[in-house]
Amino acid sequence: QTVVTQEPSLTVSPGGTVTLTCASSTGPVTSGYYPNWFQQKPGQPPRALIYSITNKHSWTPARFSGSLLGGKAALTLSGVQPEDEAEYYCLLYYSRWVFGGGTKLTVL
């Protein structure tokens, strides 16, 4: 069974930088997995942030960036704002789509 693993929780100070990662149980994440990142706040649907590793949607704030890092997909937030506190999910493609378990980001 394919498992996508994210950090369960991370804490960052306002104005700081944090990197969330997304690992595949099958091996290194590559472009063929089409990594996506989503943000979800309580009571709201997910909001798409990044697709195909690095590509931003028109509404994605500039402080969010995607990359591949050490065999994982990564989402970096630079200059974190209080409103970035949320759950973040990655999504990988394996002949079907599989979400990671999510990372709860606390801004404190």
Binding site for other proteins (CB under 8 A): 34, 36, 38, 40, 45-48, 51-52, 57, 87, 89, 91, 93, 95-102
Residues 6 or more apart from 9 whose CB is under 8 A from it? 103, 104, 105, 106
- The nearer residue to other proteins, 7 or 100, going by C-beta atoms, is 100
**Exposed (0-12), middle (13-18) or buried (19+): which is 8, by Cβ within 10 Å?**
exposed
- Give min distance, CB of 77 to other proteins, in A: 19
- Give min distance, CB of 72 to other proteins, in A: 17
- Give min distance, CB of 59 to other proteins, in A: 9
| In contact, 90 and 50? CB cutoff 8 Å | no
